[in-house]
A and B are shown apart, each in its own frame.
Chain A
Amino acid sequence: MPDGHVLCSRVRQRSCREHTRQKCSSMWFVAGRPKKTNSGFAPLESAVMDAVWAAGDPVSVREVLDALNARRGEPLAYTTVMTVMNRLATKGVLNRRGERRSYVYEATATDAAGIAVRDVIRTYGDAAVAHFVDEARADPGVRRRLRALLAEDR
C-alpha cells in the first residue's frame, strides 16, 4: 500500500471532518498534511522554491519538475508541480510570465527569509511600528535631498 494510503487512513481515524477537508488530493497522498517550515512554506513549496532559486533564471514547470524528480525516488506528477507553482504565484512568491502553455516563473525575493519577512510585514504590518521600511520607495528627489544633507555635514 502506498505511503499516501497509510497517511490517509491515519487521518481518517483521527478526524473524519479533517479528512474530508483535506480530500486526500494527490499532493496530500504524497506528503500527508504539509507542515509549514520556518519560512512559512509547505515542504513541497519549499522544494519548488529551492529549485527556482537554484536555477537563477526564469524556469518552466517542466524544468522544476525535472530538477525535483532528479533527487526523488518516487517521481512527482507534472500537474502536482504546476499546481504548487500556480499557488506560489497566487501568493506573490513567484512571478509568472509568458503565455498559456509556455509560462515561466521566477522568484520575487532572493531567499526564503526575504519572502518570510515580506509575508510577515504584509500580513501583520499593522502590528509593527515600521519606520525605515516604509520609506523604501522614495522618489529620486528625496534621495537627492538626503545626499545634499550628507554633503553639507561633511
Chain B
Amino acid sequence: MRLDSANRSFLAFTGVALLLGAYVLCGAVGGVLVPLLLARVSNGGLAGLLGDGGSLLPLLLFVVVVAGGVALATFSLTQQALASYRLARRVRGLARALPDQLARTAMQAGLRGRVVLVDAPESFSFVYGALTPRVAISRGLVEDISGGELRAVLEHERYHVCNLDPLKMVLMQALSAALFFLPALDVLRARYEAARELAADRRAVAVCGRRPLVGALLKVVRGPEWSELEVAAAIGGPELLHVRVAQLETGRQPKLATLSITHATISLLGATLLVATFLASVSSFGGPAAVRVATGTGILAANLLGGFSCAAPFAGAGLLAYWLLARRASNPLESGSLRRS
C-alpha cells in the first residue's frame, strides 16, 4: 500500500519522535543512567553520588530537559483530551436531527451515524473526536450548498475520518511538546496538515468531480461576516487555501513546506546538547567503565538495547491500535450512537 504525502509526513514524524523518545527515556535514562546511579548508591550510599569529584549539574540539566518534555507532553495530552470532550459535548448540545437529504448523502459517503448537524447559521464543517471521529456540519452550510456540493464536502471529511486525522493531530501536538528542542518536527507537522487537506480534496474531486468542491469552497469563502470566526479558528490558515486552489487549478499536488536551515540548525543544536548533557552525566559518574560495571555491557550497547526493547513494543502496539481504529473509522456507526462517543 502506497502512503500519501500526509501519511508519509506523519510516519516520519512519529518515527523520529518514537525512536528519540525510546532512546532517551528507555535507553539513556532506563538503560544507562538509572543502573549507573543505583550502582553508585549501592556502593557508597547517597554520598557516593558526589564522590570522585563528580558533578550533578549535567545530570540535573539532562533530567530537567527530559522531565520537562514529559511534563509538556502530558499537559498537552490532558488539555487536548479535555478540549475534545468539551467540543463533543458542545456539538451535541447544538445538534439537530438530520434532514433527509443530509442523512441520504451521509449514507452515500459512507458516513452513516457519523454526521452531526449543528444548528448554526454560519457555514462550516469539521471533523472531531480522536477515537470515534465524527463530522460536524452547520445548518448554514447545508442550506447554502447544492446536493453535489454537500457530497463533495462529506467526501472531503470522510478522508479525515478514515485517516483518523483528529487522533493524529493529538499525537503530533503532544510529541511536538515533548520534543520542544527539535523545531524540525514542526515542519513535518505543517507538511502533514497541508497534505491531509490536499489529499481530502483529491478524494472529493475523484468521487464528485472538481466543480462541486470548488462551488462549496466558494460559498464558504465569502464574507466579512466570517472574519471573527476565522480569527477564532486558527487552525491551518488562509495560506492553506492558496495551496488547495493551486491543486484544483493544476490537478497536481503543490510543493509542500521544506525544512529550513534555521529549523535544521536549531534542531541539530538541541539534539547535540541533549546528547552532550547525557555523555557529561555519564562521565561525571565514572564514564564508560562505570557503565560497564553497572550494566555488564558498554554504554552504546546498553543504550541501543534499552531503546530498542522499549521502542519495539510501543511501535507494535501503536500500529495494531491504529489498524483497529482505522478499520472501525472506515465503517458506518450505528445510528443514535452520538451520545456514546
Tell whether B214 is near chain A: CB-to-CB under 8 Å: yes
A118 contacts B90, CB within 8 Å? no
B220 contacts A132, CB within 8 Å? yes
- How far, in whole Å, are A139 and B222 apart by their CA atoms in the complex? 9
Tell whether B218 is near chain A: CB-to-CB under 8 Å: yes
Instruction: Give every chain A residue within 8 A of B244 (Cβ-Cβ).
Output: 135
Tell whether B241 is near chain A: CB-to-CB under 8 Å: yes
In the complex, which of the residues B93, B156, B196, B216 has the most CB atoms of chain A within 10 Å of its own CB atom?
Answer: B93
Of A109, A131, A142, which one neighbours B197 at CB under 8 angstroms? A131
Nearest chain B CB to A75's CB is how many angstroms away? 32
B216 contacts A113, CB within 8 Å? no
B121 contacts A111, CB within 8 Å? yes
Nearest chain B CB to A127's CB is how many angstroms away? 4
- How far, in whole Å, are A121 and B166 apart by their CA atoms in the complex? 14
Tell whether A1 is near chain B: CB-to-CB under 8 Å: no
Interface residues of A toward B: which range?
A: 35 or more
Q: Which of B222-243 contact A (CB under 8 A)?
A: 222-223, 226-238, 240-242
Q: B-facing mask of A98-119, CB < 8 A → 1, else 0?
A: 0000000000111101101111
Instruction: Give every chain B residue within 8 A of A143 (Cβ-Cβ).
Output: 218, 221-222
Instruction: Give every chain B residue within 8 A of A43 (Cβ-Cβ).
Output: none
Q: Which of A121-137 contact B (CB under 8 A)?
A: 121-137
B165 contacts A129, CB within 8 Å? yes
A123 contacts B83, CB within 8 Å? yes
Consensus secondary structure, chain B interface: helix
Tell whether A38 is near chain B: CB-to-CB under 8 Å: yes
Tell whether B24 is near chain A: CB-to-CB under 8 Å: no
CB nearest neighbor in B for A153: B211
A132 contacts B153, CB within 8 Å? yes
> Which of the segments A22-30, A48-56, A78-86, A144-152 contacts the partner chain?
A144-152
CB nearest neighbor in A for B169: A129
Tell whether A120 is near chain B: CB-to-CB under 8 Å: yes
Nearest chain A CB to B26's CB is how many angstroms away? 29
- How far, in whole Å, are A128 and B136 apart by their CA atoms in the complex? 9
Of B80, B130, B230, B248, which one neighbours A149 at CB under 8 angstroms? B248
- How far, in whole Å, are A121 and B223 apart by their CA atoms in the complex? 18
Given known contacts A137-B226, A142-B242, is B90 in contact with A114 (CB within 8 Å)?
Answer: no
Given known contacts A138-B238, A147-B218, is B124 in contact with A117 (CB within 8 Å)?
Answer: yes
Of B215, B232, B237, which one neighbours A121 at CB under 8 angstroms? B232
Nearest chain B CB to A95's CB is how many angstroms away? 10
Tell whether B304 is near chain A: CB-to-CB under 8 Å: no
Instruction: Give every chain A residue within 8 A of B123 (Cβ-Cβ).
Output: 132
- How far, in whole Å, are A119 and B156 apart by their CA atoms in the complex? 25
Q: Which of A19-53 contact B (CB under 8 A)?
A: 38, 40
Tell whether B125 is near chain A: CB-to-CB under 8 Å: yes
Of B141, B166, B210, B235, which one neighbours A134 at CB under 8 angstroms? B235
Given known contacts A120-B87, A135-B220, A149-B249, is B121 in contact with A130 (CB within 8 Å)?
Answer: no
Of A120, A126, A130, A135, which one neighbours B173 at CB under 8 angstroms? A126
- How far, in whole Å, are A88 and B138 apart by their CA atoms in the complex? 24
Given known contacts A122-B232, A129-B160, is B127 in contact with A134 (CB within 8 Å)?
Answer: no
Tell whether B91 is near chain A: CB-to-CB under 8 Å: yes
Given known contacts A113-B121, A117-B124, is B214 in contact with A127 (CB within 8 Å)?
Answer: no
Instruction: Give every chain A residue within 8 A of B91 (Cβ-Cβ).
Output: 120
Given known contacts A118-B228, A121-B232, is B87 in contact with A128 (CB within 8 Å)?
Answer: yes
Tell whether B275 is near chain A: CB-to-CB under 8 Å: no
Tell whether B245 is near chain A: CB-to-CB under 8 Å: yes
Please give the residue numbers on chain B whose beta carbons come within 8 Å of chain A beta carbons, in ascending order: 80, 83-84, 86-87, 90-91, 93-94, 118-128, 130, 136, 138, 141, 153, 156-157, 160, 165-166, 169-170, 173, 196-197, 200, 209-211, 214-218, 220-223, 226-238, 240-242, 244-245, 248-249
| Nearest 8 CB-CB pairings of A with B | A136-B226, A136-B230, A133-B124, A124-B87, A122-B232, A130-B126, A127-B83, A153-B211
